[in-house]
Chain A
C-alpha cells in the first residue's frame, strides 16, 4: 500500500531523515515510534506529501507520490495531525463537511446528497452527532479530536495517517479510539499509519512497529521484535523493564525511575518481627518485591507489610479473601500493601533466623504444624479426616533478585521444606508414606531489590545454599516447637 525507499530529507538543508525504507501493507495498523526529534513527524509529513523528500521515493498504491494531484491524494490518504489551527469558530458539522472537499468537483463545488450521507455516517461513527452545531472552540480536547477524526474519515480514505492520536485523550478515549481504528483495519481494510509516544499502546495495538532513532530506521517488525529491553534502553536512554501484558500476548515496557541514592540501607532482619499470639507481623521500612501465595498480595508485586495471622482450628469461611481484607482493615493495615497468610498454629512456636551471606543476607520465618501432612506424589483424596495444619514459609532476602532467582528460590525453599519433613520423619497418615508438606502451605519470597545483584538461587548458588539451609533448619525447629508445645500441654 505504501512503499518507502531510501527516503532522506528535512525542513532545511540539514537532513532529519536518513535513508529510510519500509513497506506498509493494506489493512495494517502500523506504528512509528522513536524518541523526540527522531524524525517521526517528518516521515509522516513526507508520506502525506507536505514535505518533499530530498532523495528516495515514496509510492502509494504503486504510484509515485509526486504524480498525485492534491485532490487525488486526499481521496486516498487522510491525515489527523497533532495540532490544527483554529482561528475561527466553525461548527463541528462545517468542519467535518470540509472532509468532502476532495470529492467535490465543478466550479461551485456543490455539496451532494452523497456528501451529506457520508458526513452523517462518520459523525455517527465518531459519536459527535449530538454537538454537530456547536462551534469547535467550545468543545473539549477529546471531542475536538474526534471532530477532526470525523473530518479525516469523511475523505473516505484508504490510508489514514495519525500523529499521536491519543495525545489529548484520557485513558478511556485512548482505548476507544484505538479499538475503533483496529476494527476498521480489520473490517474495512483501512490502512493506518500512526505515530505513538506511548510504547505500550503501540505494542498493544500495532501489527508492526517502526523504530526511528536520530532519523535512521533502527528496526521494523512485530512489537515483540521491536520492543526489546536493551534496544529501547539504548534508543531512549532510559532504564526500562519489559513484562508480558497480563491479558494479551504483547510486551509492555515499564520505566524505572532514576532514584537519588538512598542512604538508608534497608536490612530486613529479625528485629523487625513482631510476634504475638494473635499474629506475626513484619513491617519493612521500604516496599519489598514479592512473589507469594498469600491470601492477600498473592502473585508478583510490591508489599511492605507481612502478616501471618492466627485463626481458630474451626475457621471456615467461603470468601476467606474478603474476610482477610476486612481483618487487615480492622487492624490498621492497608490490604494493598500487605501479604497476609493464616494458620491455626500457636504463633509463639514460630522459628526464625537471620543468615548472613557474602554481600547479602536472608531472614527465614516459619510456622509449622504437620497434623495434615501429605505426600505430594499421592495427594489428598479423602478429605474426611481433614485436620488443620499448615506450613507458612517466609523468605526475606536483602539483595537484588531477578525473576528467575525468585522462581528458583521457591523451588529451593520447597525442596528444603520437604527435606525437613523427611528429617523429622513426618508421614502422610493416610498413606503412611513420607510427607512432603501440607495441602494448605503458603510461601513468600520477598527481596529488598537493593545491593548485590543475585541472578540465580538454585541450590548450587550462594543464595540458594543459604536459603536451603535456613529453610531446612527453621522448618525443623518450627515442627519441633510445635511438638514440644503439644507434649507440654499433654
Chain B
C-alpha cells in the first residue's frame, strides 16, 4: 500500500521527533542570540547564559558589552518569541482538534481581536495606568482578551445550550468581525498613532524586555499544562462530540477547559507581541503531517516547532534588511506559506504514489 514514507517511519520514532525539535530549539536560541548588528560568538553566548543561570560559574573573560547585548537585549527577545510561537502553536493545535476544523487557529474565537481592541484603545487614547507605565498595553490587552472569550462563550451558550462547535465558531466569527470593525474605526480616526497601531497589529517582538517574558510565562505554563491534561479528550473529540461522550468524555467540561486554556495562551501571546499570524494555523498542520494526529505528541511537538519557528522568523525579520526590521507577522507568512505548500504537495504526491 502506498504510504508516506515520512509518516510511516516517524510513527514508530516519536522520540526522534522530540530529539530533532529539541536540537532545533537549542540551535534557534544560539543563533538568535549570537547573530545581529554585533555578532557574538555562540560559545560566549552559552557562557553568558550559563553564568547567569547557574550560580558559581564565573564569566569574567566575557566582554561586558556582549554581556549586555545578550542578556538584556537579545535573550529576552528570543525567549519571548519562543514563548509566543509555542503558545500560538499549541493553542492552534488544540483548537483545530476541538473544533474539528483544519482552518481553525487561535484567533478563530475572536480572542485576538479582543486583545487587539485592548491594545489599540491603549495606543489610541494614550492610556498609561499608574504603576504600570509601559506595561499598561499588554495588561489591558490581556484583560480585553479574557473579557472577549468570556462574552463569546456566554453568548454561544445562550444560543445553544449544548454549545456545539459550529455555534462556537460562528459566535467567534461574529465577534471577530465586530471587534475588527472597532479597530478599523479607531485606525480611521487616528492621526499620529497610525504607525504605532499598524506596527502593533502586524505583530512584533522588538524592544521587549524580561518583564514581557514575565507577563507571558505564567500564562504559557498554566495554559500548556492545562492543554496537556486534555490530550486524550482532544483525541476523542476529534471523532465528534457525541462519539467522545460515548467513549466516556465529559464533553461539556472538557470542552470548556480546552477553550479557556487555549484562550489564556492566545490572549497572553497577543498581548505581548501583537497579532502574529500563521504560526497557530500552520505549525500544527506541519507537525500532524509529519508525526500523526495523536494529541499526546501533537501538542508538545507543536510547542517545540512553534517556538523555534518564531525565533527563526524573528531572526530573519531583523537581519534581512538590517538595520531596519520587518514586522515578524509578515515574515512568518513569507517563510511559512511556501514551506507548507511544498510539504503539502510532496505529501499528496507520495500518497498518490
Contacts and interface: CB of A to CB of B under 8 A. Distances in A.
B251 interface: yes
A70 B251 contact: yes
Interface stretch (B23-31, B176-184, B240-248): B240-248
Interface stretch (B96-104, B109-117, B144-152, B328-336): B96-104
A67 interface: no
A78 B245 CA distance: 10
Contacts of A79: 243, 246
B287 to A, nearest CB: 12
B294 interface: yes
B255 interface: no
Interface string A118-146: 00000000000000011100100000000
Given A48-B246, A71-B248, A90-B235, A133 B240 contact: no
A152 B7 CA distance: 27
A361 to B, nearest CB: 62
Contacts of A102: 247-248
B292 interface: yes
Contact of B1 (A77, A87, A134): A134
Contacts of B249: 70, 101
A88 B247 contact: no
Given A90-B238, A138-B1, A101 B245 contact: no
B57 interface: no
Nearest to A88: B293
Interface string A431-456: 00000000000000000000000000
B294 A86 contact: no
Contact of A85 (B235, B239, B288, B292): B239
A135 B347 CA distance: 14
Contacts of A70: 245, 248-251
Size bracket of the A interface: 35 or more
Q: Is the interface of B mostly helix, strand, loop or mixed?
A: loop
Nearest to B102: A87
Interface stretch (A91-99, A267-275, A414-422): A91-99
| Max count, chain B CB within 10 A of own CB: residue among A88, A95, A135 | A88
Contacts of B293: 88-90
B1 A88 contact: no
A74 B239 contact: no
Contacts of B242: 45, 50, 81
Interface residues of B, number: 29
B199 to A, nearest CB: 36
Contacts of A48: 245-246
Nearest to A109: B232
B236 A85 contact: no
Contacts of B102: 87
Contacts of B101: 87
B229 interface: yes
B258 to A, nearest CB: 15
B82 to A, nearest CB: 25
25 contacts: A48-B246, A69-B250, A70-B245, A70-B250, A70-B251, A71-B248, A71-B250, A73-B248, A74-B247, A75-B248, A79-B243, A81-B243, A86-B239, A87-B102, A88-B238, A90-B235, A90-B294, A91-B11, A98-B232, A99-B247, A101-B236, A101-B249, A102-B247, A133-B11, A134-B1
Given A75-B248, A88-B238, 13 more contacts: A45-B242, A50-B242, A72-B248, A84-B240, A87-B238, A89-B292, A90-B292, A90-B294, A94-B235, A94-B292, A98-B232, A102-B248, A151-B247
Closest 5 CB pairs of A and B: A74-B248, A102-B248, A88-B293, A85-B240, A79-B246
Interface of A: 45, 48-50, 69-75, 77-79, 81, 84-91, 94-95, 98-99, 101-102, 104, 107-109, 133-135, 138, 151-152, 155
